[in-house]
Amino acid sequence: MSQINPSPPVQSRLDWLGRIAFGGLAVVGLVVLWRIWRLIAKVPAAELAALIERHGAALIGVPAATALALFLIGIVRAIDGPIEFDVLGLQAKGAGAAIILWITAFVAIELSIRAVW
């Protein structure tokens, strides 16, 4: 009796592709961070301090708000699964709901940064 080797399931191929895509994105992110670090290292300390003092909310606040909103929506999605909501006639499910909630969280965080800066 001969055995036939079944092809691997589609899901395992997609997992492999996802890992490659995430790895590539991580490498690109590290290269971008390294280039930003090199650019900042060339700016004199006094000039950099003045720049952060004048535009700190934009230089630090916007990236921090982006990361925090992504983290919050990711935690909600990990704990509760797919996101669905219905507010004032606006219905959203899945990825659309996550995007709308991310935008809402981002705007709320940015407004709070602006209020205290």
- Hey, where are the domains in the chain? 1-42, 45-117
Q: If you average pLDDT over residues 79-100, what whole number do you get?
A: 86
pLDDT at 108 over 90: yes
pTM over 0.75: no
Instruction: Kindly report which listed range (9-23, 72-86, 87-101) carries the lowest average pLDDT score.
Output: 9-23
Q: How confident is the model at residue 20 (pLDDT cuts 50, 70, 90)?
A: confident
Q: How confident is the model at residue 95 (pLDDT cuts 50, 70, 90)?
A: confident
Cα–Cα distances (Å) from 79 to 45, 76, 85, 93, 98, in that order, read: 43, 5, 16, 16, 13
pLDDT at 114 over 90: no
CB 56 within 8 A of CB 48: no
| 22-49 pLDDT per residue, tens | 788 889 889 988 998 888 888 888 888 8
Of residues 30 and 14, the one with the higher pLDDT is 30
**Whole-number Å distance between alpha carbons of 83 and 98:** 6
Of residues 52 and 5, the one with the higher pLDDT is 52
Q: Looking at residue 107, what is its pLDDT?
A: 93
In this structure, what token pair is assigned to residue 33?
């961070």
